[in-house]
């Protein structure tokens, strides 16, 4: 990689970054009912800050059914295709495939899944072709989907597809998930292999979705000790999170020696998110990202949750700038897109409501060390 130096704040670092984008892709992602128009908000803010000229903008492919069948079952994909034609939300079989309440069926849902899956595959291919050192698909990161089941707003597990693609070239791939929710679909997909280590930092609390990701869940069979879970409690803030993140990640790198990395950067950990759980800011998440980027591995960055849409756009724009070694001004430059909701890139609205609960599983890092020995 062209970036030298090992400082977390090396702003002189000029990374080659690929950004997966086409107007059609953003339009398709905007249609997702749980995060309406989020994809275009994120893209508009990145564009408004002039960040596109510092990246290679790469048009995403659309995944074929064969591409998605590298992970998903034929019967799931065929069912998704069938109900997608007319948005049939009442098909009696849909319940078997997790489609319904949390994952409503709308017309074109198969095309959405193929677009997201294809975009992450494109981002992975850019890394494998050495066209870039970091590739970005903010509209990806749907980590809950299972091989034969939609789950938690996720219809296709593009993160799994991306990891499988990277595995065609790289022996060991590290997956790191900092979404508020446990990255259960990705962990499940690789729970039996020692070639992919999954690490998830997430809220773990009775009744909180998806309910998995306890400290003692460490993988199965040959994959035992290659799944790492860091359960956290509400209220955690940047400094404590960074402390835990770096201690776990340093140990993971030492034990696993990854050749490539995928990071899911769901923004539902932000203070002000309707999830009302963690108290993170983009600066804190950005420090975690810089920590792993200094390893100079081929790295695929994905989005994920993030239900305060303006905060999510701010967060991912801030992270894009951080990857590029750019500092953003607090004033949004003039731009044709309407960004009134995103008035200030610098994150201010840190909720005080749950800050008193800023305890977390401090034993997580220590136990992780023990478990990987």
- Residues assigned a catalytic role: 144
Residue 61 vs 151, nearer CB to Zn ion: 151
Q: Does 181 bind Zn ion (CB under 5 A)?
A: yes
Q: Does 184 bind Zn ion (CB under 5 A)?
A: no
Q: Residue 180 Cβ, how far from Zn ion at the closest point, in Å?
A: 5
Query: Phi and psi (nearest 5°) for 300?
Result: -105, 125
CB closest to Zn ion, residue no: 305
Q: Does 213 bind Zn ion (CB under 5 A)?
A: no
Q: Residue 276 Cβ, how far from Zn ion at the closest point, in Å?
A: 13
Q: What is the DSSP code (8-state) at residue 334?
A: P
Site string for Zn ion, 245-284 (x = CB under 5 A): ---------------------x-x----------------
C-alpha torsion angle, residues 371, 257, 144, 308 (rounded to 10):
100
Binding segment for Zn ion (CB under 5 A), chosen from 62-70, 86-94, 217-225, 302-310, is 302-310
CA–CA separation, 105 and 109 (whole Å): 7
Binding segment for Zn ion (CB under 5 A), chosen from 3-11, 33-41, 304-312, 315-323, is 304-312
Q: Residue 143 Cβ, how far from Zn ion at the closest point, in Å?
A: 8
DSSP secondary structure letters along 49-68: TT-GGGSEEEPPPPPPHHHH
Q: Residue 178 Cβ, how far from Zn ion at the closest point, in Å?
A: 10
Q: Residue 42 Cβ, how far from Zn ion at the closest point, in Å?
A: 16
Residue ranges for the known binding site for substrate are: 102, 152, 307
CA–CA separation, 119 and 268 (whole Å): 22
C-alpha torsion angle, residues 188, 192, 198, 200 (rounded to 10):
40
How do 56-58 and 134-137 pair as beta strands?
unpaired
Residue ranges for the known binding site for a divalent metal cation are: 179, 181, 268
Mapped onto helix, strand or coil, the DSSP state of residue 319 is helix
Residue 179 vs 251, nearer CB to Zn ion: 179
Q: Which residues pair with 262 in a beta bridge?
A: 175, 300
CB-based contacts of 196, cutoff 8 Å, min separation 6: 163, 167, 172, 173, 174, 175, 190, 226
Residue 312 vs 317, nearer CB to Zn ion: 312
Residue 94 vs 269, nearer CB to Zn ion: 269
Q: Residue 149 Cβ, how far from Zn ion at the closest point, in Å?
A: 17
Binding segment for Zn ion (CB under 5 A), chosen from 163-171, 176-184, 277-285, 292-300, is 176-184
Q: Closest Cα to residue 266, out of 319, 226, 338, 227?
A: 319
CB-based contacts of 262, cutoff 8 Å, min separation 6: 159, 162, 163, 166, 173, 174, 175, 176, 299, 300, 302
Residue 47 vs 179, nearer CB to Zn ion: 179
Q: Does 179 bind Zn ion (CB under 5 A)?
A: yes
Number of residues interacting with Zn ion: please give it, by CB under 5 A: 6
Binding segment for Zn ion (CB under 5 A), chosen from 13-21, 45-53, 80-88, 298-306, is 298-306
Q: Do 109 and 155 contact (CB within 8 A), yes or no?
A: yes
Identify the residue among 41, 156, 180, 227 touching Zn ion (CB under 5 A). Answer: 180
Q: Does 305 bind Zn ion (CB under 5 A)?
A: yes
Binding segment for Zn ion (CB under 5 A), chosen from 131-139, 175-183, 184-192, 313-321, is 175-183
Secondary structure E strands in 71-183:
134-137, 173-177
Q: Tokens 């893209």 correspond to what residue?
A: 43
CA–CA separation, 44 and 334 (whole Å): 11
Q: Residue 318 Cβ, how far from Zn ion at the closest point, in Å?
A: 18
Residue ranges for the known binding site are: 102, 152, 179, 181, 268, 307
Residue 298 vs 305, nearer CB to Zn ion: 305
Q: Do 196 and 165 contact (CB within 8 A), yes or no?
A: no
Residue 170 vs 316, nearer CB to Zn ion: 316
CA–CA separation, 355 and 237 (whole Å): 8
Tokens for 317? Answer: 């724009």
Binding site for Zn ion (CB under 5 A): 179-181, 266, 268, 305
């Amino acid at each position: 990689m062209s970036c030298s130096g090992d400082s977390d704040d090396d702003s002189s670092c000029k990374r080659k970054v690929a950004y997966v984008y086409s107007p059609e892709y953003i339009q398709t992602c905007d249609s997702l009912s749980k995060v309406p128009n989020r994809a275009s908000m994120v893209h508009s803010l990145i564009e408004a800050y002039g960040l596109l000229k510092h990246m290679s903008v790469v048009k995403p492919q659309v995944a074929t059914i064969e591409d998605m069948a590298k992970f998903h079952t034929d019967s799931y994909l065929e069912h998704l295709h069938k109900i997608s034609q007319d948005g049939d939300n009442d098909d009696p079989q849909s319940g078997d495939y997790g489609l319904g309440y949390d994952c409503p069926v709308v017309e074109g849902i198969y095309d959405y899944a193929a677009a997201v899956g294809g975009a992450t595959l494109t981002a992975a291919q850019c890394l494998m072709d050495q066209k870039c050192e970091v590739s970005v698909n903010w509209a990806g990161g749907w980590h809950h989907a299972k091989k034969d089941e939609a789950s938690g707003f996720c219809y296709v597990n593009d993160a799994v597809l991306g990891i499988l693609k990277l595995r065609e070239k790289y022996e060991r791939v590290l997956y790191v998930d900092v979404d508020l929710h446990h990255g259960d679909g990705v962990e499940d997909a690789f729970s039996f292999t020692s070639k992919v280590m999954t690490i998830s930092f997430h809220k773990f609390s009775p009744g909180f979705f998806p309910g998995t990701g306890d400290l003692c869940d460490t993988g199965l069979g040959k994959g035992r000790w290659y799944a790492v879970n860091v359960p956290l409690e509400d209220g955690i803030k940047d400094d404590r999170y960074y402390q835990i993140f770096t201690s776990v990640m340093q140990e993971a790198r030492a034990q696993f020696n990854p050749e490539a990395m995928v990071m899911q950067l769901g923004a539902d950990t932000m203070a002000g998110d309707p999830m009302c759980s963690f108290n993170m800011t983009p600066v804190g998440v950005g420090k975690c990202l810089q920590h792993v980027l200094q390893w100079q591995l081929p790295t695929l960055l994905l989005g994920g949750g993030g239900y305060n849409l303006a905060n999510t756009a701010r967060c991912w724009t801030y992270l894009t700038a951080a990857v590029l070694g750019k500092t953003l001004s607090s004033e949004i430059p003039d731009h044709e897109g309407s960004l009134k909701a995103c008035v200030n890139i610098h994150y201010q609205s840190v909720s005080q409501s749950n800050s008193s609960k800023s305890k977390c599983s401090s034993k997580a890092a220590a136990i992780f060390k023990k478990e990987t020995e």
